Amino acid sequence: MKAHTASLINAITLIVFGLWGYFGPTNPSYTALIPVVGGIILLFLYPGTKREDKLIAHITVTLTLLLFLGLIKPLYGGIERADTITLFRVIVMMLTGVLAIIYFIKSFRDARKNREA
C-alpha cells in the first residue's frame, strides 16, 4: 500500500467515525467533530500527497500524528466509562492513523534511498 492510499483510508475513517461519534450518542459533544475536520483537511491534502509533494506529505504526516495524539484522551474516557462502542470507534481511528504514519515513514525512507542511489 502506498502512503497516499493509507492517508485516504485514514481521512475517510476519521470523517465517518467522527460523525458517528457526534450523531450517535444521546448527548453529542462538539469535540467529536475534531477528527471530522482533520479528515477533511487530509482529503484536501490528498492530491499533493498522491503527487508525492514533499512539503504536503510532511504536513499530512504531522497532522496525522497530531490527530492520533488527540485521540488518546477519548480512548481513556472510553476505558473509564467501559463504553465499548467508543473504544471501538477510537481504536479504529487510531489504527488507521498509525498505519498511515508507518507508510509515510516507509515512503520517506524509500525516497531518501532513491536520492542517494
Q: What is the pLDDT of residues 51-60, one digit of tens each?
A: 988 899 999 9
Which domain, by its residues, includes 67?
3-109
Among 41-45, 66-70, 79-83, 92-96, which is the least confidently predicted range?
79-83
Question: Residue 14 — very low, low, confident or very high, per pLDDT cuts 50/70/90?
Answer: very high
Letter string b/e over residues 94-110, b meaning 16 or more CB atoms within 10 A of that residue's CB: bebbebbbebbeebeee
Residue 40 belongs to a domain? yes
Residue 8 belongs to a domain? yes
Q: What are phi and psi of 90, to 5 degrees?
A: -70, -40
- Give the model confidence (pLDDT) of 20-35 as tens digits: 988 886 677 888 899 9
Count the domains in the chain: 1
Residue 62 belongs to a domain? yes
Residue 116 belongs to a domain? no
Residue 105 belongs to a domain? yes
Residue 114 belongs to a domain? no
pTM of the model: 0.89
